[in-house]
Each structure stands twice: as structure tokens, then as C-alpha cells.
Amino acid sequence: MCYAIPGRITGIKDNIVSVEYFGEQKKARNEFFDLKIGDYAYAQGGFIIQKISEREALPVLESWKELFFKLQEIDSQLIQKDPKTLYQRANNLRQKYHGNSCCTHGIIEFSNYCGMDCFYCGIRKSNSKLARYRMSLDEILEAARFAVHKLRFKALVLQSGEDPWYDEEKLVYLVKKIRQDSPSLIILSLGERDFGLYERLYKEGARSVLLRFETANLDLYAQLRPGRELKNRVELIGKLHKLGYLVMTGFLIGLPGEKEEDIKKNIELTNALAADMFSFGPFIPHPDTPLANTPLVHTETVLNTIANARVLNPKAQILVNTSFETLDRANALRSGLMAGANSLMINVTPRKYQRFYDIYPERAGVEEDVEMRIENIVKLLRSIGRAPTDLGL
Ligand code: 5AD
């Protein structure tokens, strides 16, 4: 459930509420607000994240009303009645299970310090060429405020390298303050930190975790992630899911020596981890890493992965990630969304830091004006009948 159009509460049973959007009923978990039937609220990823007054809700609903149905119609027109290709089949499943809603999350990359030395990653600790930055807590809060109040995002990813400088006290403060000042679904992407820390942040109101297992291939994992074991990562992801976090996980496509069978296993592991959102993307070699000379994967391999993931799990959210947009600047978003994907992320890191979060070179969107970028993405989404539901209007 990912509509960020305000919904009207039509039913309440314990902490599960029914929310109505232009006649469509969805369900969401309400853990934080005092809601009664007839109230208006925003939901994200299946959680109520903000209660709003009728006075605020009605004009937004009014501005969406006509567009909401028009977009659905455009989407339906692009659906093949008799799907022949894998992409068409995947697109039909996407529409059947998710309608035309496209979750658009904002991502704040707040530190490029990393204690890990992953062979594929440009911010690995041995990369001494990279200038490092840490955003102060105030800067992060300001970036969150801008994303939520100015750009109207309803879901925020807080991402960094594995950087213990942000200890429990700092992270608790951040989650608390963001919940107070910038109501949104808070998605933590902090790497393999202690389960106890994640437990504490869940208590403070964080409700989602983005943590990829990177590869299900044991040999590759051991080679490329020195000092870490796949087993521990997978275990942590499982425990986070059990605790109640919405889990976003996935893998890299095209690591050296990877076979088609590996991609299949990666999709299967993502699914076995009960991922609410699949997050995977092409590996893009970084010149200052040991994998600098790995050939790029083909666009079709990425599209096939999206479509196969959709066929395996019609209900999951599937992301077109930024590395795919980097691999195929002109077409990735559109073609990914037409091959089964239904979600994307937009970089809302303050511009002066963006280029230092150099996990791979020449990332799409870096240092573009974020408002222009949103405008262009919304235009593209509208052209294929998708409702960019986190951005509001
Ligand atoms: N190309 C693409 N994605 C990468 N990541 C790290 N390095 C690269 C690269 N060279 C991904 C990892 C990590 C996420 C934050 O970035 O999958 O989980």
C-alpha cells in the first residue's frame, strides 16, 4: 500500500485501519495516532504516518480527483490484453496487484565514511582518493524537512556507509526529531549494525530497513566482502523482518564471474527473505576499486531481472534503482516501470555532498536541481499513467 494521497479512515480494528481513496479500500497499520472513522491520514508502505485535518485533506483530494482516474486509464491502455513477452506479463502483474501507484522515496546520503572494504564499492575504506564527509545532525534534519515539507516526500531513506560515528544516541535523536518535524516513513539504510540498535530505532518509530544481502553466491560473498559472512547478514535481515520492519533487500547484478543461475538465486533469496521491496541494480565498476575492470552488464539483463522478480512475487514493490538509471540514462526508468517495477528513489542529499557519495561513478541525477528532476520524473510517470504517490501535489 503506497498511496500518499490523503485517505479517509473507513474502518478500525485494533491497530489495522481501512483507508479509502476515491472509492478504493486499502489497509494500513496505525501505531502512532489517535484515529477515528472519518479522519484523514497519509499512509506509506502500509503504515499510517500522518494524521491531517479535513481542511488540509479536501483541497489535495480535489486536485487529485480527475488526475487519479485519468492516470489509471492511461495505464490500462498501455496494458496488453494478450501479453506475449516476459516484460508484458510482468507489467500486467504489476498492474493487477499495485494498480498504477508508483512509490517515489527520497534518499538522504548522510555519510560516506565506511568501515567496510567491499571490493565493488567506491566508498570502501581503502579508497584513499575519496574526500569523506559526515552531515551534522542538524544538516540531516534540515534535509529531511526540505524533502518532506518542500518536496512533499512521504518516505525517506537515511543512508550512509557503515559509520559508527552515528551511534545509538545520535540515531535515536534523528529518528525522534524526524518523526516530530517531518512526518514520513523512515527507512534506515545504515549497513550491518547491531540488532540492538535496530530494535531501539524501531521503538523510536523507524519502520523500514534497506539492507541488501548483495549476493547469494557464497564464494563471491566471501571474496568481495572481507570479514563478513552471508549467513550473518541474512540472519539480521530475517530478524528485522520479524521485529516488524518493512524490509527492502536485494543484490547487485553483474558481479565478476556471476552466471545467470546466480541472478535466479538472488531473486529467490530476496523473496525468501520476505522482502516487501526488492532493491537490486546493476554493478557499475568504480575505477578506484579492485573490480575496476569488470565489464558492464547489459540493460536487458537488468530488465529481465525486474520482470522475473515480478513474476516470482507479484505483490512486492520493485524498485528501478539509480544504478540502472546510470547504466541506461535515457530509458531505464520507463523501461523498468514497463517491465514490472513500481517504485523509484530520488536523491535529496544536499547538493554539495552528492558527488562524494561515490559508490559508483557518474551516478544519474547527481548535482541536478532536485526540483527539476522531480518535475521530469513526474512528467515521465504521467506519460505512462502512473501516480507518483509519495510526492503529493
Ligand atoms: N555499483 C552499483 N551498486 C553498488 N553498490 C555498492 N557499490 C556499487 C557499485 N559499484 C550498492 C550496494 C549497496 C548499495 C548502497 O550500493 O548494493 O548495498
> Could you tell which of 116, 120, 125, 349 is best to mutate to test the pocket of ligand 1, judged by most ligand atoms within 8 Å of the CB?
120
- Is the model's pLDDT at 136 over the cut of 80? yes
Question: May I ask the CATH architecture of the domain 87-91+94-383?
Answer: Alpha-Beta Barrel (3.20)
Query: Among the atoms of ligand 1, which is closest to the Cα of residue 282?
Result: 2
* Mean model confidence pLDDT for the chain: 95
Q: What is the pLDDT of residues 213-246, one digit of tens each?
A: 999 999 999 999 999 999 999 999 999 999 999 9
How far, in Å, from the CA of 283 to the mean position of ligand 1? 7
Closest CA to 327 of 274, 282, 359, 293: 282
Closest CA to 367 of 391, 348, 380: 348
DSSP structure class, residue 294: P
pLDDT at 79: 94
Percentage of residues in the chain with pLDDT exceeding 70? 98
How far, in Å, from the CA of 14 to the mean position of ligand 1? 40
- Is the model's pLDDT at 3 over the cut of 70? no
Query: Among the atoms of ligand 1, which is closest to the Cα of residue 285?
Result: 10
- Is the model's pLDDT at 298 over the cut of 90? yes
Query: 7-69 with 87-91+94-383: one CATH topology?
Result: no
Phi, psi of 319, rounded to the nearest 5 degrees: -95, 140
How far, in Å, from the CA of 289 to the mean position of ligand 1? 12
Per domain, the residue ranges of the chain are: 7-69, 87-91+94-383
Query: Among the atoms of ligand 1, which is closest to the Cα of residue 291?
Result: 10
How far, in Å, from the CA of 36 to the mean position of ligand 1? 43
Regarding the beta carbon of 21 and ligand 1, being less than 6 Å apart is answered no
Nearest CA to ligand 1 atom 6: 121
Regarding the beta carbon of 212 and ligand 1, being less than 6 Å apart is answered yes
What the block records as the C-alpha cell of 195 is 540488532
What the block records as the C-alpha cell of 157 is 531513506
Regarding the beta carbon of 120 and ligand 1, being less than 6 Å apart is answered yes
How far, in Å, from the CA of 115 to the mean position of ligand 1? 15
* Contacts of 182 by beta carbon, 8 Å cutoff, 6+ apart: 141, 144, 145, 147, 148, 149, 156
Closest CA to 155 of 371, 18, 3, 376: 3
Q: What is the pLDDT of residues 379-390, one digit of tens each?
A: 999 999 998 877
HEC assignment per residue over 241-280? HHHCCEEEECEEECCCCCCHHHHHHHHHHHHHCCCCEECC
Question: Please, what CATH class does the domain formed by 7-69 belong to?
Answer: mainly beta
Regarding the beta carbon of 363 and ligand 1, being less than 6 Å apart is answered no
How far, in Å, from the CA of 224 to the mean position of ligand 1? 12
How far, in Å, from the CA of 127 to the mean position of ligand 1? 15
> Could you tell which of 322, 323, 325, 347 is best to mutate to test the pocket of ligand 1, judged by most ligand atoms within 8 Å of the CB?
323
- The whole model's pTM is what? 0.96
Q: What is the pLDDT of residues 335-367, one digit of tens each?
A: 999 999 999 999 999 999 999 999 999 999 898
Distance CA 252, CA 214 (A): 5
| Residues 201 and 166 sit within 8 Å (Cβ to Cβ) | no
Regarding the beta carbon of 61 and ligand 1, being less than 6 Å apart is answered no
Mean pLDDT of 290-312: 98
How far, in Å, from the CA of 380 to the mean position of ligand 1? 25
Nearest CA to ligand 1 atom 7: 121
Regarding the beta carbon of 324 and ligand 1, being less than 6 Å apart is answered no
Q: What is the pLDDT of residues 79-121, one digit of tens each?
A: 999 999 999 999 999 999 999 989 999 999 999 999 999 999 9
How far, in Å, from the CA of 252 to the mean position of ligand 1? 7
Rounded to 5°, angle at Cα 243 from 238 and 249: 40
